[in-house]
Amino acid sequence: MRAMSLLHVVVGSLRPPKLNAVRSALEACRPWLCADSSLEIVGINVPSDVRSTPLSRVETMRGARNRAQNLQKIARERDEPWQFFVGLEGGLDVVNLYGERRVFLESWVYVVDSAGSGHYGQSGAIALPDGLATRVVDEGIDLSDAIDVHAGAQGIRNNLGAWGVLTRGLITREEAFRIATINAFSPFFKPQSSVAANA
């Protein structure tokens, strides 16, 4: 019996919702990504090099990419065997449409492999209530602090997240990042023909 190879994945965070999201996404993706490999997922806290609550889609995407690239630097310095580098970033997209401002929470993931090929994935978007949007966008309060006040609880970002509060738990922060992670990894999936051949 052939020994299983090991797929090394490093995630740019130590927060449970992010790590759990990547773990769950990769387990779901295994048949098309690494059916013959076991997974090793490591979390390392790295900076996003953007503000703590990004205020545009571009800034959020940049934060995700920066996290992955900071992991690549660590891998080179330490000579780590990591094959995939995963950066996750949540942020806001502020849209002015028909004279009205709409503020959406989005979750973005950037995945780059050891060969330098990188792809983005996004989970969708949910609108922030006007009062919450005002506190974050206009008053400069970090979303993690503002959502704690909004929900009357502490440490929301490490559990349900703003997604969970706004959807009454139907979509959690972990689930939003899980979807974004699957979307970011999908370009790395093996062709359908090779998957069928291994079935």
Burial of 96 (0-12, 13-18, 19+ CB in 10 A): exposed
Looking at 34-172, list the stretches that DSSP marks H as alpha helix, in order from N- to C-terminal side: 57-78, 130-133, 143-151, 161-166
Residue 185, domain CATH: 3.90.950.10
Confidence of residue 4 (pLDDT cuts 50, 70, 90): low
Mean pLDDT of 16-31: 96
Query: In this predicted model, what pLDDT tens digit does every residue of 99-127 receive, in sequence order?
Result: 999 999 999 999 999 999 999 999 999 99
For residue 182, give both structure tokens. Answer: 């699957």
Rounded Cα distance between 34 and 51, Å, is 35
What does DSSP assign to residue 12? Answer: S
Q: Judge whether residue 1 has pLDDT over 80.
A: no
**Average of pLDDT values for 60-83?**
97
pLDDT category at 54 given cuts 50, 70, 90 is: very high
Can you give the pLDDT at residue 199?
A: 47
- What interhelical angle do 173-185 and 16-33 show, nearest 10? 30
Q: For position 191, what pLDDT does the model report?
A: 84
- Per the structure, the complete domain to which residue 13 belongs is given by 5-198
Please state, in angstroms and as integers, the Cα–Cα distance from residue 110 to each residue in 96, 97, 156, 195, following that order. 26, 28, 23, 24
Count of domains in the chain?
1
